[in-house]
């Protein structure tokens, strides 16, 4: 897995983003133990881009010693699509000081909100539908409440946002899984091998349920980070330009220093 960190330009209307904010990785899920019981599509991978993280608001004048922030931890589709077509439930393991620290969320959106004052690691376990994968996926997120620049003023209007991107890859998916999600925007659908055909998709949920499951109109959606390929390429290009400009500056400084040293060399 590759773990990279990228940062965005500061904008007064953007949330306080704690670095590293954009962590990208690719997780391959193992083959199902009962693979012989289901018809598998060989030489095919299907990927589901997900984002997990938290948004934390300082309570300002309402803050107390033990209740300084209101925060939400979540797992969402990278483009805010409904994950419930793949994920059956999510389990969030909070710090032992919370009442009922093991929280189970049975439907999308997979999130929970709490309040407190301390930062800690949250273990997130995703369980998939039976035709997707029998093995759960374990994620770990460090809850971030305070901005990286602790000397600056805190704001009740702009949250601290920390998110990680993970492309979850299922190898040799079952035919039933592929048929069920072939037109769903939450998955990156592969090119099928020659001779492989799938039955037409069957919708098993009404439109109102689909709308509730996605996070496009989520109250926090304005603060969600953009993990699209185009956005990441732009950030990489901007970072490359900054590095090149810095290298050019260092070269000029070295050249200037060498010139000065030449002037003071004894004859």
- 167 vs 231, residue with greater confidence: 167
Beta strands in the chain (DSSP E): 4-6, 16-29, 45-58, 69-77, 87-93, 102-105, 110-116, 121-128, 137-142, 160-171
DSSP-derived secondary structure letter, 85 = G
Q: What percent of the chain has pLDDT over 90?
A: 43
Residues 46 and 169: beta-carbon distance below 8 Å: yes
- Tokens in use for 36? 């012989």
Q: State the pLDDT at residue 228.
A: 67
Name the pLDDT band for 31 (thresholds 50, 70, 90).
Answer: low
pLDDT, tens digit, 9 for 90 and up, residues 83-115: 999 999 999 999 999 999 999 999 999 999 999
- Give the SS3 label for residue 83: helix
- Per-domain boundaries in the chain: 50-201+217-225
Q: Counting Cβ atoms within 10 Å, is residue 79 exposed (0-12), middle (13-18) or buried (19+)?
A: middle
Diameter over CA atoms, the chain: 89
- C-alpha 240/C-alpha 179 separation (Å) is 41
Choosing among 3.30.390.50, 3.40.50.12240, 3.40.50.720, 2.60.40.1970, the CATH entry for 50-201+217-225 is: 2.60.40.1970
pTM, two decimal places: 0.73
Q: State the pLDDT at residue 193.
A: 77
Percent of the chain that is helix, strand, coil (3-state, to 5) = 25, 35, 45
């Amino acid at each position: 897995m590759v773990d990279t960190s990228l940062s965005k330009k500061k904008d007064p209307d953007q949330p306080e983003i704690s670095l590293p904010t954009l962590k990208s990785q690719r997780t391959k899920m193992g083959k199902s133990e009962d693979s012989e019981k289901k018809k598998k599509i060989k030489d095919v991978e299907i990927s589901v881009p997900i984002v997990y993280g938290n948004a934390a608001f300082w309570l300002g004048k309402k803050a107390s010693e033990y209740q300084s922030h209101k925060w939400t931890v979540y797992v969402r589709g990278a483009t805010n699509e409904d994950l419930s077509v793949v994920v059956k439930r999510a389990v969030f393991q909070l710090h032992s000081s919370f009442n009922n620290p093991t929280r189970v969320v049975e439907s999308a959106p997979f999130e929970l909100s709490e309040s407190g004052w301390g930062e800690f690691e949250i273990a997130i376990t995703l369980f998939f539908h039976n035709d997707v994968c029998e093995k759960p996926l374990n994620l770990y997120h460090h809850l971030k409440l305070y901005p990286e620049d602790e000397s600056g003023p805190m704001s009740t209007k702009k949250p601290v946002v920390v998110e990680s991107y993970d492309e979850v890859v299922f190898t040799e998916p079952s035919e039933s899984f592929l048929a069920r999600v072939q037109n769903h925007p939450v998955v990156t659908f592969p090119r099928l091998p020659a001779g492989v055909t799938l039955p037409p998709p069957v919708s098993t949920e009404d439109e109102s349920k689909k709308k509730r499951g996605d996070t496009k109109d989520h109250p926090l959606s304005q603060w969600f980070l953009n993990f699209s390929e185009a956005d990441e390429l732009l950030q990489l290009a901007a970072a490359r330009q900054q590095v090149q400009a810095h290298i050019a500056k260092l070269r000029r400084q070295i050249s200037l220093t060498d010139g000065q040293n030449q002037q003071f060399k004894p004859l």
